[in-house]
């Protein structure tokens, strides 16, 4: 679940298990299946947490984040899904992945 991510972790969004009105609101802000989401920082008391998604930073309460299913991002996800990587970075990362595999 999104709420279980540690600060600095990146994951791939799988599903929103929220009421339709909340789902629609979050989807308009970029919370769509297969989107990359990164936990950026937490409030001192631990709630809310700020997440980066689709080039925006969005703070979500723990109760909302625990209803958003994610899976760990793989290096390949970062290559394919992150629109902020330019072509030269993608090519270099792809070469590195080939060497590692």
In a domain, 29, yes or no: yes
Q: Residue 62 sits in which domain range?
A: 2-73
pTM of the model: 0.76
Task: Identify whether 96 is preceded by a cis peptide bond (ω within 30 of 0).
Answer: no
Contact of 66 with 40, CB cutoff 8 Å: no
Question: How many Å apart are CA 1 and CA 11, to the nearest integer?
Answer: 10
Say which CATH number the domain at 61 has.
Answer: 2.30.30.90
Asked if residue 95 is part of any domain, the answer here is no
- What is the per-residue pLDDT across 46-62, written as a single tens digit (0 to 9) for each? 899 999 998 899 999 99
Q: Is residue 94 in a domain?
A: no
Cα distances from 73 to residues 22, 46, 47, in angstroms, run 24, 23, 23
Compare 54 and 20 and report the one with higher pLDDT: 20
């Amino acid at each position: 679940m999104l709420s279980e991510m540690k600060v600095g972790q990146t994951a791939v969004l799988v599903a929103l298990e929220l009421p339709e009105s909340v789902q629609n609101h979050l989807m308009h802000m970029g919370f769509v299946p297969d989107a990359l989401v990164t936990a950026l920082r937490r409030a001192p008391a631990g709630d809310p947490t700020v997440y980066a998604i689709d080039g925006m930073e969005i703070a979500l309460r723990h109760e909302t984040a625990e209803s958003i299913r994610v899976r760990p991002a793989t290096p390949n996800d970062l290559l394919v899904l992150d629109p902020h990587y330019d072509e030269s970075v993608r090519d270099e990362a792809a070469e590195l992945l080939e060497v590692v595999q």
